[in-house]
Structure 1
Amino acid sequence: MNTTTSTALPRVTLVGAGPGDPELLTLKAVKAIASATVVLVDDLVNEAILAHASPQARIVHVGKRGGCQSTPQAFIEKMMVQAAQAGERVVRLKGGDPFIFGRGGEEVEHLQAAGVAVDVVNGITAGLAAATSLNVPLTHREHAHGVVFITGHAKPGDAGTDWAALAHCAQQAKLTLVVYMGVSSIEHIQAGLLQGLPARTPVAIVQRASLPQQRHATTTLADMAHTLHAQHLGSPSVLVIGDVLQGLAQLDQPTQPALRRTA
C-alpha cells in the first residue's frame, strides 16, 4: 500500500490589522485570522479585531509599543517558529502594515532562516489613515509629487535621520513627509526640518487615526512642537508635513473635530 508524507513547510502569516478601525481590515486578513490556531497580537491592535478569531484559537498578547515595556523581538520570533513547527496555523497580527515600521522584514528573515514559510497580508498604514481622516491626500499634482514615510525613533546606537537633509530634499522635490513615532523627539525633528522647509509649512498631528478617540491639531512647522504639547497630543500620533495640507479648513485653529468618512 502506498503512503504519502506531507512535505508542507511550517507556515506563519504576518497580517496587517490596519490603523485601528476594525472595518478597515481586508477580507484576506479576516480569513487569515479566522483560520489561525495561534494569534500573536501587538499592543496597538484593536481588541474588536479578535472577534474574527476562532473561539478555539490561542490568543497571545505580545506588546510592542513605543515608550512602553515591550516583549523582546527575539522571544516573539522564537514563539512563532516553535508554534509553526508544532503544526499550528500561526498569525502574527500587527498594527498598520507589517512592512511599514512593523518589523515585518526582520521577522520574514528570521522565519525563513528557520525553515518556516511566510505569507504577508497588507494592512492600511496609519500615515495614510491619518491623512485620509482629514480628507487630505498624501500626493497631489500641484502640491506633492511623492511621499516619504519615515520614523522619528532611531535605533539605539544609530544617529537617526538627517532631518535637515530630508527637509532640503522635500522642498526641492515637493514631497509630503509622514513621520511615525516622532512625539518623543518632536523638538529635534522640528529644528532639523526648519533648516530646509519654510516655517509656514503646514502640519497636521493626528493621534489614534481612524479610531473614535481620534484627535488632531493643524499648525505650522514653526509651531509644531508647541502645538503638540499645548493640545496634549501623545503617542500614538502621526505627523503629516507638507503643502498637501494647504486646503485643510481653518488651519490657524489648532484643534478641530476629525472629519469622518461615511460609506
Structure 2
Amino acid sequence: MKRGKVYLIGAGPGDPGLITLKGIECIRKADVVVYDYLANSKLLEYAKKDAELIYAGKKGGDHIYSQSQINSIIIKKAKEGKVLARLKGGDPFLFGRGGEEAEELAASGICFEIVPGVTSAISVPAYAGIPLTHRDFTSNVAFITGHEDPTKDESSIAWDKISTGIGTLVFLMGVKNLPQIVKNLIENGRDPKTPVAIIRWGTLGKQDTLTGTLETIAELARGKNLTPPAVTVVGEVVRLRDKLNWFETKPLFGRKIIVTRARSQASEFSDLLREYGAEPIEFPTIDVRPPGSFDALDEAIDNLERYDWLILTSVNGVRFFFERLKVRGRDIRDLKGIRICAIGPRTAEEIDRTGIR
C-alpha cells in the first residue's frame, strides 16, 4: 500500500502571490487539501482536478471542526496512503497550531514535512507601510498572541518585560482583547502616547488600517466596530506609515471588481487587477465548450482552397480552429494563400503563437 504523507504548508497572509514555490508544488501533488479560513481559496486552483478539498476553517468562535477532529481527518487520510496538503494561513509554526498537528503526526508514525510560509506578523505591517525594525527607532521586535489558550490559569505573557523592553510589539488575533492588551501595556510602563496601528485583511485589496495611540486605539476600534482578522502593531515605527504607505495608495485600491471571463482565462486579468490594488472576484458567466458537431468546420477545413479569407474573432476561436486543423490531418502550411484577419490584439497574439506572422 502506498505510504501517505502530510505537508504542513504556510499559505501566506492572504495575497495569493505570497505563497512559496514549494507550497505550490506540494498543493499540486496532493490527493487531499485541508485548508483554513485564512488560506486564500485562489490557491485551491493549483490542486489536481480530482483532489479532495476539505474546508476546516476557524472563524472567531465558529469552528466547523475542532482541532482534534482536524487532526483525526489528517491522520485518517494519510493512513489511507494519500498525499495531503494542510494549508494554514501565514506560517504554520507561528500561532498556527502547526506544532500541535505535527506532534500528532509524529505520534501516529506518519511522514510529514513543514513548508514555511510568509507570516502575517511581518508581511501585513509591510503592506501597511510599517517596517518592524528601523535604525532610527528600534532594533528589536516581539510577536505576541492576542488570544491565549482560554484553559490556562495564568497568562504566559511577561507584560512587565515586553511593555518597556521591546521596541515593536506585534499582536496577532488580538482585536477582541484589545482593551485588555492596551491596559496591560500602559499599567506596565508603556507610554500612552505610543503609536498603534491595526491592519485588517492585510495584503488584500480590502485591507483597512486604523492608527492611533495606546490611549485612543481601543475607543477608535470600538467606533469602527473592528472585527478579526487583524494584526496590531505597537511602537514608534508606526510613524513611518505616512511616508511608506505604498499599497493603499494604488490606483484601484479598495475596489472590488467582478471578473466574468471563463474560469480558464480569468487568472491573468485578476492578477493585473491585484497589481493595481483591486480585489478581483472571479464569477465566470462564460463557459467555453466545443460545439455539438464539427461537421461545418470540418467541411471548411477540408476545402480550405475555396477560401480567400480566414477571420478569427477570439482567442478561443483561434484555439479551437487550430486544434481542429490538426485533427483533420492538416497544418498551417495548408493556409498558404489565405489572408488571415484577427479581431482584436489578443486574438492576433494567439495567432502568433501558432507560428503565423
TM-score, normalization by structure 2: 0.66
**C-alpha deviation, 1:188, in angstroms:** 0.8
**C-alpha deviation, 1:262, in angstroms:** 6.2
Partners of 1:44 and 1:220 lie apart in 2 by: 28
Give the structure 1 partner of residue 212 of structure 2: 219
* Matched letter for residue 219 of structure 1: G
Partners of 2:120 and 2:153 lie apart in 1 by: 25
**Identical residues among aligned pairs (%):** 37
| Displacement over 6 Å in runs of 4+ | none
Structure 1 residues 205, 159: CA separation in 2 closer, same or farther (over 3 Å shift)? farther
Give the structure 2 partner of residue 33 of structure 1: 27
Q: Within 5 Å, give how 1:27-176 maps onto structure 2.
A: 27-159=21-153, 161=155, 165-166=158-159, 168-170=160-162, 172-176=164-168
* Matched letter for residue 210 of structure 2: A
Give the structure 1 partner of residue 309 of structure 2: none
| Structure possessing the higher radius of gyration over alpha carbons | 2
**C-alpha deviation, 1:63, in angstroms:** 1.5
Query: 3-state DSSP class of the match of 2:216?
Result: helix
Give the structure 2 partner of residue 253 of structure 1: none
Count of equivalent residues = 250
Give the structure 1 partner of residue 290 of structure 2: none
Give the structure 2 partner of residue 3 of structure 1: none
Give the structure 2 partner of residue 206 of structure 1: 199
Partners of 2:154 and 2:24 lie apart in 1 by: 36
Give the structure 2 partner of residue 258 of structure 1: 248
Give the structure 1 partner of residue 222 of structure 2: 229
Q: CA RMSD in A?
A: 2.3
TM-score, normalization by structure 1: 0.88
**C-alpha deviation, 1:9, in angstroms:** 5.2
Partners of 1:154 and 1:174 lie apart in 2 by: 20
**C-alpha deviation, 1:171, in angstroms:** 5.0
Query: 3-state DSSP class of the match of 2:26?
Result: helix
**C-alpha deviation, 1:47, in angstroms:** 1.1
Q: Which protein is richer in helix relative to its size?
A: 2
Structure 1 residues 160, 32: CA separation in 2 closer, same or farther (over 3 Å shift)? farther
* Matched letter for residue 118 of structure 1: F
**C-alpha deviation, 1:45, in angstroms:** 1.4
1:183 aligns with 2:167: no
Cα deviation digits, residues 74-110 of structure 1 (max 9, x gap): 1111111111111111111111110011101001111
Cα deviation digits, residues 23-47 of structure 1 (max 9, x gap): 1111111100011010001112111
Contact preservation (8 Å) 1:14, 1:94: yes
Contact preservation (8 Å) 2:3, 2:81: no
**C-alpha deviation, 1:143, in angstroms:** 1.6
Contact preservation (8 Å) 2:8, 2:115: yes
**C-alpha deviation, 1:159, in angstroms:** 4.2
* Matched letter for residue 91 of structure 1: A
If asked which structure has higher relative contact order (CA below 8 Å, sep 6+), I would say 1
Unaligned runs of 5+ in 1: 1-5, 251-255
Partners of 2:120 and 2:149 lie apart in 1 by: 20
Give the structure 2 partner of residue 248 of structure 1: 241
Contact preservation (8 Å) 2:125, 2:131: yes
Unaligned runs of 5+ in 2: 251-273, 277-357
Contact preservation (8 Å) 1:154, 1:160: no
